[in-house]
Structure 1
Amino acid sequence: MAQDHCDCPEDPPGRPTTSTGVDYEVSDRVEQLIEQHGEMLEDGMLPVKVYNDEEIFEAELRRIFGQCWVFIGHETEIPEPGDYAQRYIGKDPFIFVRDEEEEIRVLFDSCSHHGSALCRAEQGNTSHFRCPYHGWTFKNTGDLTGVPLKHQAYQGLDAEEWGLVEAPRVENYKGMVFASIAEEGPSLEEYLGDFKWYLDVHLDVGKGGMEVIGEPHRWRADSDWKSGADNFSADSYHTAYAHRSVIEVGFAADEISGTPGQETQMHVTHADSGSTSLRLLEPEDEIYFGYPEEYVDTSNLSEAQADMAAACGAATGTIFPNLSFIHLAATNDPDEDLDGFFSLRKWQPIGPGTMEFWSWVLAPADASDEYKERAYDVAVGTFSPSGNFEQDDLAVWDGIADAAGSVFAEQQGFNMNYQMGMPGMSKASIVDDFDGPGTAWDDNLEEGTCRTFHGNWHKAMSGEDVGMSYPEDHI
């Protein structure tokens, strides 16, 4: 008697569940470097090596991007059922999609058959995703709906068990969609903590809320993802030097430089998982980030938040790990008035010392098409691949990665100085009666915000929860 070619069980097994919460083991060298990072940060210093190291990068993908909430996109990017876009958590590919019932989903971009990527376009609209390898087909909910030759090849397959895998947790904060690939952890609201107070100023000041204009710009740079997150968290100390030429030719107001001795005030604050820098004008000057009065709505803001928005001409911020923003009044023509725009910026890790910039432009949803076009043009002229400000940053960040990857820095234990604002250094002092949460300084000569970011990096890499401000005795 001939034997059957396959000794298959009568009842095929279902899809195995994945284990969660497994700690990622690293070498003793990396553990020592992480420990050294935390000890040195207490004294306001950082080992440069963490900015370009293969083992550190692999640990970051698992201990940071594998655990934290990561920004996926804004809901206005996918306004219609079937709209989708490719996105990433760390280096992992996902499909950001609005299904036919208008629910926003974040689906792992891998066919449940043999693992091929499904999404072959950066963005589009579809009711189904079909694998180009063997033709398995999935609804935009992730449900498996089509298997070629199913009745001959997969008679016992339970389609309900073999749909696309979703990110375990997806949450939306006022249009900003975040996802976490960790099964458990704090909610997004808990993770953002008091930083929501500042986010609300930016998201609620525009009439009708904020809306994405066009597609996100994307370009690569030989810089580590932490350079962007650190800078926007906020390193306003660099503005007067790295960006001086932009200010001198009139493409931005001198007030945004934040240099001491001006009539403007510089308040730099940090709270919970985020850090932010605010350039505040005198109380009688109302600027609202450069938006015309008819596109401003402060009805959803507290009095303190509305006052801050009215006085703010520029602001940057970072939500750990790799989402930053800039809200800026600027111009492409020194003879024209300033126009406001809001830009979300994601520092996408590609490899040690290498990242991809993602930059979204937003404006008040109820603004005219003409104003949105003007705001977009100003954003392109300032913070984009060809932007005046952007090119200044790119000219210096790659040098950090170069130094971090050098043999000399490793042999000499080369360290960076982040001591500004610590006792005995600058004259910056903490503002006791600041209306917002967190810690505020009276000018930009401090690096507590940057130390907050690196403090969160150290906690995440050490397996601790991220979301608390760095201890005040270390700011």
Structure 2
Amino acid sequence: MRQDQEHQNVGRYVALERGLIDRAIFSDPALYRQELRRVFAPSWLFLAHESQFKKPGDFFTTYMGEDPVIVALGRDRKLRAFLNACRHRGMRVCRADAGAAKAFTCSYHGWSYDMAGKLINVPNGEDYPAHFEQDQWGLTEVAQLDTYKGLVFATWNPEAPPLDAALGGMTWYLDAMLDRDPEGTEVVGGVHKWVLEGNWKLAAEQFASDWYHVNISHASALMVMSPSGKGPKTEIVQTPGRQYTDPLGHGAGFPTHPRSRFDDRVVHDHYDYEALRERLGDARVEGPMTTGHATVFPNFSYLPVNGSIRVWHPKGPDRMEVWAWTVVDRSMPDEVKDAQRLYNLRTFGPTGIFEQDDGENWSEVQATAHGFMAGSMTLNYQMGLGMETDDGVHPGTTGRLYSDGAARGFYARWRDLMNTPAWHEKATEQVTEKDTR
């Protein structure tokens, strides 16, 4: 870590016991740089889905925070992830989105790396000094990589707890989408990517906690979906439900009424709901499996109703890049998989009738964030404050569906990480202390 980096105590920005947040957390460049060091670098981050890697040599490029990353399946069929940066001058060694390769070669000076990240070729190698050890200059590998029911996560933090522990109680809610089929899940239709003007946290917190906006922001979409075509689908927007708040920053919200669904008819008719009740239990089938929204801290979100999974890649304090996949059950017939894919695109694809509403909201919120008065506003996150309980049905702490509870939990985790030195800072402090003795 560079010694000139300063860290702010963000406790003054988030007064969560009163449900208040300073708007500066969405626009301050210094806080954003601190997020990259203390939120993204130490956390488990979603990379890809296992089904994207079928044969040795298959690869996919993505980001961890703003760090470019290659995910590759080696000859030993082991999945690995590396910093997509040549150890010579730092240029990306892979500039394709996905594909198959035998090696990655930097197009600047020709350093080449195999699928396990080992440096295998250095042009003009005889001109390097005798102490140059080629096997010490492989690609920088993530500290840990693991999967959860098809989802691939990694972290740079060698001290991070195992993935299962980092997901915590969220796995019960994740399984409502990932564990419907004994054969597991797969992604179909590739990856859709688009850029939005807005801070990444705006999207992550909404998917964790915000059902509140549905009947306002999505009124036109609900009107289209209403059987009468004359008004919002009231059984969706005026419904009982619960919101889960995880102490690790994850969150999920979902209706608990059997008619609170707006899934695709072909997909709905495919399921054997009695078999699903036996597999997942009544609470999941009547709640988080039917519809709803969720975020795995910090920037992975999903929608069970249409199989949408997405990452909010940060691109500065004012911009994010959205990457979205469609997840389906492996045993679905092809026509059902295709129906789910098309339904996802029509609702939450880059031009989807719901997605466009959300993107406009986040961009509009960000548009005024840099004004002096508007940028120093205190924002109200008090809905549902003090109303969270253990309801005896849904694991963990839950509250009413209309609540900011999971958003407060998200920012509590964000605050704690922002105020805690990461593993790389501790290592730097130890080295500095030795140097001053």
Q: Does 1:457 align with 2:414?
A: yes
Distance 1:152 1:50, change over 3 A: closer
Give the total of aligned pairs: 415
Report the Cα distance in structure 2 between the residues aligned to 1:435 and 1:211, rounded to whole angstroms.
29
Partner of 1:11: none
* 5+ long unaligned stretches in structure 2: 423-437
Partner of 1:324: 301
Distance 1:135 1:430, change over 3 A: closer
Report the Cα distance in structure 2 between the residues aligned to 1:301 and 1:132, rounded to whole angstroms.
54
Give the partner amino acid of 1:381: R
In the alignment, which of 6, 11, 16 is matched to residue 35 of structure 1? 11
Bigger shift: 177-186 or 285-294?
285-294
TM-superposed deviation, 1:439: 1.6
Following superposition of structure 1 onto structure 2, how do residues 61-460 of structure 1 map, counting pairs within 5 Å? 61-153=36-128, 157-206=132-181, 208-250=183-225, 254=233, 257-259=236-238, 262=239, 265-273=240-248, 274-282=250-258, 291-292=267-268, 305-310=281-286, 312-328=289-305, 341-410=306-375, 413-423=376-386, 429-430=387-388, 432-441=390-399, 443-460=400-417
Report the Cα distance in structure 1 between the residues aligned to 2:274 and 2:184, rounded to whole angstroms.
10
Distance 1:219 1:248, change over 3 A: same
Aligned residues: CA RMSD:
2.8
Distance 1:45 1:464, change over 3 A: farther
Report the Cα distance in structure 1 between the residues aligned to 2:292 and 2:18, rounded to whole angstroms.
28
Partner of 2:435: none
Give the partner amino acid of 2:327: L
Q: What is the SS of the residue equivalent to 1:446?
A: coil
How does the TM-score come out when normalised to structure 2? Answer: 0.87
Q: Does 1:50 align with 2:31?
A: no
Report the Cα distance in structure 2 between the residues aligned to 1:101 and 1:239, rounded to whole angstroms.
47
Distance 1:55 1:99, change over 3 A: same
Identity %: 29
Distance 1:392 1:287, change over 3 A: closer
Give the partner amino acid of 2:394: G
Bigger shift: 303-312 or 363-372?
303-312
TM-superposed deviation, 1:404: 2.2
TM-superposed deviation, 1:352: 1.0
| Maintained 8 Å contact 1:280/1:308 | no
Q: Deviations over 1:54-101 (max 9, x none)?
A: 111111110101111111111111222111111111100110111111
CA radius of gyration, larger in: 1
Give the partner amino acid of 2:377: F
How does the TM-score come out when normalised to structure 1? Answer: 0.81
Distance 1:408 1:71, change over 3 A: same
TM-superposed deviation, 1:203: 0.6
Report the Cα distance in structure 2 between the residues aligned to 1:297 and 1:154, rounded to whole angstroms.
68
TM-superposed deviation, 1:173: 1.2
| Maintained 8 Å contact 2:226/2:233 | no
| Maintained 8 Å contact 2:264/2:339 | no
Distance 1:184 1:245, change over 3 A: same
Distance 1:306 1:143, change over 3 A: farther
| Maintained 8 Å contact 1:95/1:119 | yes
* 5+ long unaligned stretches in structure 1: 1-18, 329-340, 424-428, 466-475
Q: What is the SS of the residue equivalent to 1:58?
A: helix
Q: What is the SS of the residue equivalent to 2:43?
A: coil
Give the partner amino acid of 1:96: V
Report the Cα distance in structure 1 between the residues aligned to 2:168 and 2:179, rounded to whole angstroms.
17
